[in-house]
A and B are shown apart, each in its own frame.
Chain A
Amino acid sequence: MDNDIFQGYKGEALELLKKYKVRVWGAVSAETTRGSFEGTVLPRSENDDDKHIVIKIITGYNIGIDTRTILSMKETGYKKANYKIPEKDFPYTKGLPKVKLFGTGGTIASRLDYRTGAVIPAFSPGELYGAVPELADICNLETEKIFAVFSENMGPKQYLALAKAIGKEIKKGVDGIVIGHGTDTLHHTGAALTFMCQNLPIPIILVGSQRSSDRPSSDAALNLMHAMKAAGQSDMAEVQVCMFGPTSDEYGLLHKGTRVRKMHSSYRSTFRTIGDTPLARINREEIIPIKKNYNKRRNDKNVNILPYFSDKVTMLYYYPGMAPDTIDALVDSGYKGIIFVGTGLGHVNKELYPAIERAHEKGIHMFMTLQTIWGYVHMFVYDTGRDMMAKGIIPAGNMLPEVAWVKLSWVLGQTDDPEEVKKLMLTPVNDEITLREPYNGYLVYQGGVPEVDEFIKDVHK
């Protein structure tokens, strides 16, 4: 009961609210040693201290009142906030593709409750139509909430559930699937679904937003429009991540789920295809392919769902001086697979060798990937590399570390046989290892170089 009436308040603040019979959402008039304050009492964030009461004053701002200054308080009214989103029917338009949106918990679209400041996710077709009416010109939309977790809590369980839901939906008949997702682990999910959903007849588009849609400059609406368009109209039947190209509101990029990576903690244009070019550019008018070869959309429903995942795979980010007991500890804890993230061309120091040998003897599957992110593992160049291969570490080509972790988990969910594991790991499902790196596959521009600065000035970032 207290939780509801005094949301988030504790200690001194809670005692005061009780003493003066003032509730959250109550209109309050407080006399303090700093003068009087009037407003509506708001819920308090659980992690904030117990020395302040938050009110929204008439001009719309929030302020905190120091409990130690309060002389008296009086509740002069009460009005509980209403969290409901007004819904409008998502219009059905004959001839437009049918797109299914899966919700996973990340908020792509939302509505702001100004009274409380709460962000309410918009998810049903009606809510989404209210938030982004342009969607109705792109597709006929159905939505389904599969689960509700934050991006960082997405994991094996969710990958499996999504893969199965995708299989079911394709059997039912749909022109494309969009998955709304938090951005932090969007690329992990992209890789997992690529391995688990093979021979796709339709596009599967993962989309999120770097700026929540309660802000006018959010990338959410445009990302959502791009994603719906790609799902409904593109002929690229692959698992793709659809996010901003530049940080400007100009166009989106469609990245392969196996080659994409989040490269900046907060930029809108954070997702980049690594070691290759993206699949396509997309804007509200058209989809412009960049890659010529891709899996084409088909009319059949013959998707191959392979929902396997072992939770006994770990990653080891190497640092100079790393001690062998780190590997021993992992082996002792029962891990069956280790993805090494090595330096340079794929190296770790010699002191680790005995531990690597011990792990190999125990049947641990070990693969090498790179801290450099770009480039290929190449273990033949130095003796140390050859030593390591002899001790059981297999180079994983230009597979991204996170992708290698996802893939080994998926592989070990199916087999334990070392030869089979190696074969599955090194046989690309969809370009997680590519045979060649094109010259425009590695681009990390350096600011301050005149021609780079010129480019940045001329082209919208």
Chain B
Amino acid sequence: MSFNSKSNYEISKKKVGYVPRIDATQETYDALGFMSGLEVHQQLLTSEKLFCHCPAGIFHEHDDYNAELIRHMRPTLSELGEYDGTALMEFKTRKEIVYRINNENACTYEIDDTPPFPINVDALEKALEISLLSKLNIVGEVHITRKQYLDGSIPAGFQRTAILGVEGELELPSKKIRLIQLSIEEDSCREISDVGHVRVYKTDRLGMPLIETVTYPDFKNPDEVKDGCDYIRFLNRSTGNVRTGMGAGRQDVNVSCRGGSRVEIKGVAHTKWIPELTHNEVFRQWALLQIRDMLSANLNNIKGWKVSSVGVKDILSILPELEEKETIIAINLPGFKGALSYFTQPGQMFADEISTRLKVIACIEKPNMAHSEEFESILSEKHWKLVQTRLKASKEDSQIIIWANEDDISTAIETVEERCKLALTGVPNETRKSFEDGTTIFERVLPGADRMYPDTDSAPIPLDDNYLNNLNKNLPTDVIDNYKILKEWGVNEEVYTYIFSKNLFPIITKIVDKIGVNPKYVCAFFGHEVKFAVGHYQGPEQFNFERIFKLFKYLKSKGITFELAEKMLPELIMHPQMDFESILTSMNFKKYSKKEILSKLPLLNEKFSEGKEIISNIKRKNWVMGKLRNIAIGNIELTDLSKEV
């Protein structure tokens, strides 16, 4: 092969203009037409699920189940005949969906064998409070709607969901973000595995109440998306109505570049991953547009473009990697030279887009293909020549070899052809799965908006003005207002995230107002000392931050200085039942008056000076402070003591 795919990859990467995020500026993103919006999912803190009386928040291990059952998701007619070709292709390959059910946390409702019970009123109320706080226009009547999912993540094939409000607004420190809507919905299954034709889910999380806040695509750079997401989560948490911890909050991030398409990066668990993911996605779309332009320039007949394929098992089954394969097919992609090895994301090229679709749509596990522009191919140059000859390929073409069971081959060829045809038009609408390194892979074709229909099993729920007015009375203050207060107090910005993400603002103001502690000091105490202690010491249960308020109150009442609080934190976390008195005893804390402590000074000074001719005052001070520190903490402010020394 005279064609050098490695250098093609590098050259295309340059052409795309890819830069690491650290080197990117607002100009970089403006040039690409960066656009992004969010769909932030947040589980509500309720004892029961949304449409049945199973407990919410009880999870189990993959293998801890009482029953399994199987479903196949069938595209409904409008998708079948009319537009969603991929859904049909996927259906033809027959994915078997297995659901694992644990009797403790799932009943016959979850698996769609019993109609829904009336909506969980506690969940609805909690979601409405968040909707009000998000300044949304609250609907007059809640209509439960079914939203179709064909991936099996919901056994019914649809999710029950309802809009609570539309057209809201979220004020960030830097700008205002418009909200499209907020909905309440049931959470989906958790995937256990997806291999070949079998996908396995567990149903513990299924049906838990969840809200989804959807923003307009108002974000103009990756960091802004993260900030926006954090704020939505802070707002949700400020109500105390939501679950926290792993998986309780997840977001889908929509990204597009100028001329690109809406691509949804699904299920991002941490907001800190958002910047890298959106950065890479906007470049990937930019690259796909360049591939389109390159192909448009090279191909004579774009409309009539199609692949040709031929069996090559006789040529290639001698390769150790392929000797066991049932069917081996070579596909020729006319005029695609240079496209397969075109840069798309760090570590990925266009061919990877095809390979992942083969896995998802044709159910062929990776590695599922080889291609003529791989950096290292299992085929020798000689083998490629034989394949190209059999395909009657021209120099301007590229080739893909796929291997699979006979049954999956026709879908596989269709899948390759479809993806290549999409390359001729630009960026396909799709959902993508994210990785921690900031790259993504194809997950599913993005379903259209036309997959909603009324839930005939549920009656509409009216929300009258009286009810909403009452809810309005109990709302916490806006996060942005709290933010402004922190600024006023002169609190260091680096502790804001911790304060808002743990919803500490109400406790902080309580400590400030009721005990009269310096606000800046309290914020720093939470942002550094408490954060460190909670991160390093393990208690029997989640730490209740309310204890800190009681601690400060106790210290104040005993006339002990607040500096002792830090030392008490580990015990406080590890033994939540222990009273403050006992904690102090266990720390060997003794009460000394200021006078008692200061009375030790002369003796210590003398001791330090013993045998020394020149006495450095700083050294002396440090030495004396060191000696007194343990008995001083709690009894006298260290700064005061330092002055005396």
Contact = CB atoms under 8 A, between A and B. Distances in A.
Interface string A59-73: 111111111110000
Which 4 A-B residue pairings sit nearest by Cβ, starting from the closest?
A64-B141, A216-B157, A66-B140, A35-B137
Nearest to A456: B67
Interface in A114-131: 114-115, 117, 119, 122, 130-131
B68 A217 contact: no
B145 A61 contact: yes
B145 A111 contact: no
A250 B70 contact: yes
Contacts of B450: 60, 114-115
A57 B456 CA distance: 18
Contacts of B108: 266-267
Interface in A90-132: 110-115, 117, 119, 122, 130-131
5 contacts: A32-B140, A52-B462, A64-B141, A119-B456, A217-B156
A36 B148 CA distance: 28
A60 B159 CA distance: 14
Interface of B: 65-78, 80-82, 103, 108, 111-115, 136-143, 145-150, 155-158, 161-163, 166-167, 180-181, 183, 214, 449-454, 456, 459-460, 462-465
Given A216-B150, A217-B157, A457 B145 contact: no
Contacts of A171: none
A217 B66 contact: no
B465 A68 contact: yes
Interface residues of A, number: 63
Given A35-B167, A86-B82, A268 B113 contact: yes
B80 A130 contact: yes
A247 interface: yes
Question: Considering residues B157, B166, B459, which has the most beta carbons from chain A within 10 angstroms of its beta carbon?
Answer: B166
B66 A267 contact: no
Nearest to B138: A34
A387 B477 CA distance: 79
B81 A249 contact: no
A112 B77 contact: yes
Contact of A66 (B75, B82, B115, B141): B141
Given A86-B81, A266-B114, A267-B113, A60 B449 contact: yes
Given A52-B140, A250-B70, A461-B68, A61 B158 contact: no
A216 B180 contact: no
Contact of A215 (B76, B138, B180): B76
A396 B68 CA distance: 40
A284 B456 CA distance: 31
A246 B66 CA distance: 16
A158 interface: no
Contacts of A85: 77
B137 A64 contact: no
A457 B68 contact: yes
A260 to B, nearest CB: 19
A88 B82 CA distance: 12
Given A216-B150, A460-B69, A49 B77 contact: no
Question: Considering residues A35, A213, A222, A246, which has the most beta carbons from chain B within 10 angstroms of its beta carbon?
Answer: A35
Contacts of A238: none
Given A62-B454, A114-B451, A215-B158, A122 B462 contact: no
A32 B166 CA distance: 13
A62 B454 CA distance: 7
